[in-house]
């Protein structure tokens, strides 16, 4: 048996990484419900994870990961059936790392090193974010018959400077996946678990169909990679929750607080997963199913 199997969780800004980490930690720490992986042997300092899990349990939005905040989330898990050790690491910098990598074609040595020896990727995209790939063709469809299209295009080009970070998410993600597998990083990814977060916001009932409809470029890229891919829908929060200390819309907070076991707010969809088991995709990434 391999000493430990390591996976990396990645995703652009606000793709749901920290909320997933908070809910997963709560799940394996509280043991309220049965999960396919359990908490493994821990030696590090888990105060940050405990803080996130406590905010999550109280139905507050987890804090955004700021660029100066070094969030080194490494979770040691263990397979219930075989005892195999599995490590899930969240690259220790925020989502902005990926926008920056796309714009500059560079990642820091620290980020590159963190990817070494990983077996699986957990890739986050969100069903809760608005479309970001509207084109001039889409705009033209909404214009009235006598609108001056040429003038509108000229004005748009004159007023908007190109900002690489505003490149559609699908393009940035495909580029990042391509770049980490090419020299000099040459990461040998064996499986990809695509997590569609904020699944309570999705209209589709099938996560793979969501990917096909909403992110066709990423869907095509993944289907042509020589790695196994699974798509899961995950509502780690269970609905909309407010930011702590900010008055206003409570969202679904009261309804979520009334669920007897906080772990049961979590909803996971796809690939025969047990309804609340966030560890299911991590176990599949580790090729432990059926053992």
Ligand X SMILES: Nc1nc2c(ncn2[C@@H]2O[C@H](COP(=O)(O)OP(=O)(O)OP(=O)(O)O)[C@@H](O)[C@H]2O)c(=O)[nH]1
Residue reference for tokens 């939005």: 61
- Is 18 a binding residue for Mg ion by CB under 5 A? The answer is yes
Nearer to ligand X by Cβ, of 95 and 207: the residue is 95
Interacting residue with ligand X among 17, 39, 119, 253 (CB under 6 A): 17
Nearer to ligand X by Cβ, of 71 and 219: the residue is 71
What lies within 8 Å, CB to CB, of 202 at 6+ separation is 127, 196, 210, 233
Instruction: Give the CA count within 13 Å in the CB-facing half-sphere of 247.
Output: 0
Report which residue's Cβ sits closest to ligand X.
Answer: 95
Interacting residue with ligand X among 19, 35, 76, 263 (CB under 6 A): 19
Interacting residue with ligand X among 5, 59, 62, 288 (CB under 6 A): 62
Cα separations (Å) of 105 from 11, 99, 122, 132, 194? 17, 10, 22, 22, 23
Interacting residue with ligand X among 39, 75, 84, 95 (CB under 6 A): 95
Cα separations (Å) of 23 from 32, 126, 144, 185? 12, 16, 48, 31
Interface stretch with ligand X, choices 121-129, 133-141, 167-175, 269-277 (CB under 6 A): 121-129
What is the 3-state composition of the chain as percent helix, strand, coil, each rounded to the nearest 5? 40, 15, 45
What lies within 8 Å, CB to CB, of 73 at 6+ separation is 21, 48, 49, 89, 90, 92
Closest-CA residue to 199 (of 275, 138, 142):
275
CB of 267 to ligand X, least distance (A): 8
- Is 19 a binding residue for Mg ion by CB under 5 A? The answer is no
- Is 35 a binding residue for ligand X by CB under 6 A? The answer is no
Kindly write out the interface string for residues 44-73 of this chain, putting x where it contacts Mg ion by CB under 5 A and - elsewhere. Answer: ---------------------x--------
The site for Mg ion (CB under 5 A) is made up of 18, 65
The site for ligand X (CB under 6 A) is made up of 11, 13-19, 61-62, 64-65, 94-95, 124, 126, 128, 197-198, 200-201, 235-237, 239-240
């Amino acid at each position: 048996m391999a000493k430990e199997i390591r996976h990396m969780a990645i995703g652009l800004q606000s793709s749901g990484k920290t909320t997933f980490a908070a809910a997963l930690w709560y799940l394996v720490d509280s043991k309220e419900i049965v999960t396919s992986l359990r908490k493994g042997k821990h030696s590090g300092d888990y105060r940050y994870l405990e803080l996130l899990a406590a905010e999550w349990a109280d139905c507050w939005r987890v804090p955004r990961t700021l660029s100066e905040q070094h969030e080194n989330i490494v979770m040691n898990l263990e397979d219930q059936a075989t005892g195999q050790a599995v490590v899930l690491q969240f690259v220790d910098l925020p989502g902005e790392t990926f926008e920056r990598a796309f714009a500059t074609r560079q990642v820091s040595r620290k980020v590159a090193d963190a990817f070494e020896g990983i077996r699986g990727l957990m890739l986050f995209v969100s069903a809760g974010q608005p479309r970001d790939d509207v084109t001039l063709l889409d705009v033209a469809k909404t214009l009235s018959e006598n609108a001056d299209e040429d003038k509108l295009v000229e004005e748009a080009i004159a007023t908007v400077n190109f900002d690489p970070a505003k490149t559609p998410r699908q393009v940035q993600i495909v580029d990042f996946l391509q770049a980490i597998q090419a020299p000099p990083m040459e990461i040998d990814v064996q499986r990809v678990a695509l997590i569609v977060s904020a699944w309570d916001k999705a209209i589709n009932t099938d996560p793979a169909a969501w990917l096909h409809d909403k992110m066709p470029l990423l869907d095509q890229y993944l289907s042509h990679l020589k790695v196994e891919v699974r798509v899961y829908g995950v509502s780690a929060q269970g609905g909309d929750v407010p930011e702590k200390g900010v008055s206003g819309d409570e969202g679904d907070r009261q309804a979520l607080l009334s669920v007897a076991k906080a772990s049961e707010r979590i909803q996971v969809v796809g690939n025969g997963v047990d309804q609340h088991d966030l560890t299911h995709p991590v176990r599949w990434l580790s090729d432990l199913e059926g053992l």
